[in-house]
Amino acid sequence: MTPAPDIFHRIRAGDMAAFEELVRHYQPYAYSLAVRLLCNEAEAEDAVQETFVRVWRNIGRYDPSIQFSTWLYRIVTNLCLDQLRARRRRNWISFPKENEDGQAIEMRADVDLDELVSTENLVSIIYSLSGGLPETQRLIFVLRDLQDLSIQEVCNVTGLSEGSVKTNLHYARRKIREHLMQDYDVKGAS
């Protein structure tokens, strides 16, 4: 159920119950974006925690004329990008293309994805698909193709123009398609 319109007013007044209601409603959205961007569940949970702490701290600055989810995604995105950059600086490498049992994940077009995909596998699959993309392309790919935001929402979250979003999306999808053809046997499917 969508929170009542006066929820932000109540949170500004220090109402913790209202804030809890907001967290419970938006936490799944924030988590799914964070885990898709970071491809790491523990780091995603940390990012979600930090996101809502920032929401609480900055709720006075929130402009109700923009959608709350857009504002929330912006915070999640910024935190995740910072985390990814820090990870890159540390040369942090993870996500082998393996599942929990150490078996290689095989994503063939004729495989039942519903059976294949668990959260653990999903992060590996997404990482294997988008891990090699430049930061902006990866962000736009996750927001549009995995998080299912509209082009306009992607523009609002990233601050990029529609043309720029579409161009980046085109390059990201082409690379992912090439990757699917090479590694996941999409080529053979009809």
Partner 1 sequence: MKCRDAKRLMDLSRPGELTVIELDALDRHCASCPACAAERTRARQSESLLARLRAFKPEPRNGDILTASILARVREQRQKTHNRSTAEWFDRIASWLEIPLLRYASALFITVTLLSFVTQLLAIMHSITDLEARLARGPRPQARFAYAINMESVMQMKEAKELDRLLPSRIVVDADKKVIVSSETLAALQEFITSRSAATEESLRAKATIDSLVHRLEKEGAVSLQLISEGETR
**DSSP summary character for residue 68:** H
Task: Looking at residues 16 to 55 of the shown chain, list those that interact with partner 1 (rule: CB under 8 A).
Answer: 16, 19-20, 23-24, 27-28, 31-32, 35-36, 41, 44-45, 48-49, 52-53
CB 35 within 8 A of CB 123: yes
Q: Is residue 86 near partner 1 by the rule CB under 8 A?
A: no
Task: Select the span of 72-80, 84-92, 111-119, 131-139 touching partner 1 (CB under 8 A).
Answer: 111-119
Exposure string over 37-57, b if 16+ CB within 10 A, otherwise e: bbbbeebbeebbebbbeebee
For 73, the token pair is 């995604």
CB closer to partner 1 out of 44 and 79: 44
To partner 1, the closest distance from the beta carbon of 91 in angstroms equals 26
Cα angle 104, 125, 146 (rounded to 5 degrees) comes to 165
Task: Give the residue carrying structure tokens 């082409």.
Answer: 174
Nearest to 155 by CA among 143, 145, 146: 143
**DSSP summary character for residue 104:** B
CB closer to partner 1 out of 81 and 117: 117
Binding residues for partner 1, rule: CB under 8 A, are: 14, 16, 19-20, 23-24, 27-28, 31-32, 35-36, 41, 44-45, 48-49, 52-53, 56-57, 61, 107, 109, 113-114, 117, 119, 122-123, 125-126, 144-148, 150-151, 166, 169-170, 173-174, 176-177, 180-181, 184, 186-187, 189
